[in-house]
Amino acid sequence: MGAIKMSRFSLQFIEPIMLFLLLLIDGQLTQVLGHLMSGPYLPVSHLVLIFLIYAVTCHRQSYLVFLGIFLGLVYDAYFIGVYGIASLLFPIIALFLYNIQTVVFTNRWTRLFTVIIVVAAFEVLSAVLAGIAGIGTHDVLGLIAYQLAPSLLINIVFALLLQAALERLYKLGVGNMSYKTK
């Protein structure tokens, strides 16, 4: 199978559209998974965060901040209904990923662990911020058992299934030290 030929310049224009569509797909997947699960479990799809992990390899820090703000505003409007939670967290996550990218792209295991860390951080921090804003509950055990654990499980599966395609899209090698720093 041939590699996807897309320049970093092309990605700069296509990526916001792709990530916007992934936000919408995340919402639909979350609804479908919620209906398929029995009981109070709510796995939340975070394909956009998985793609954002790889996007840091192609863009400048300032571009990632603006992209994070845009995605956060859309996420806040589409999922939360209150502006400020995801629009704060997405740029912070993008900056965090940008600053640790040499570690993240050491090998496939570090990318998988990064997915776990980013998804867990987003879920927990968004619940904390929602609680501070008075729009969420303070049931920590419920959050962990019914939302965080299923969300981590489904996003680990997504990350594993998408890893080879994302490596080709973002022109990353499969080997251990194949990522080149900027």
For every residue of the chain, DSSP letters joined together read -PPP---HHHHHHHHHHHHHHHHHHHHHHHHHHHHHS-SS------HHHHHHHHHTTTS-HHHHHHHHHHHHHHHIIIIISSTTSHHHHHHHHHHHHHHTHHHHTT-HHHHHHHHHHHHHHHHHHHHHHHHHHTSS---HHHIIIIIIHHHHHHHHHHHHHHHHHHHHHTT--SSTT-PPP-
Decide: 18 and 51 in contact? Cβ < 8 Å: yes
**Cα(63)–Cα(125) distance, integer angstroms:** 23
| pLDDT, tens digit, 9 for 90 and up, residues 120-166 | 999 999 999 998 988 877 788 888 999 999 999 999 999 999 999 99
**Does the model's pTM come out above 0.85?**
yes
- Evaluate if residue 179 carries a pLDDT over 60: no
Residue 133's pLDDT is: 87
The architecture (CATH level 2) of 10-169 comes to: Orthogonal Bundle (1.10)
pLDDT in tens, 96-111: 999 999 999 999 999 9
- What tokens does 108 get? 């496939």
pLDDT of residue 8: 62
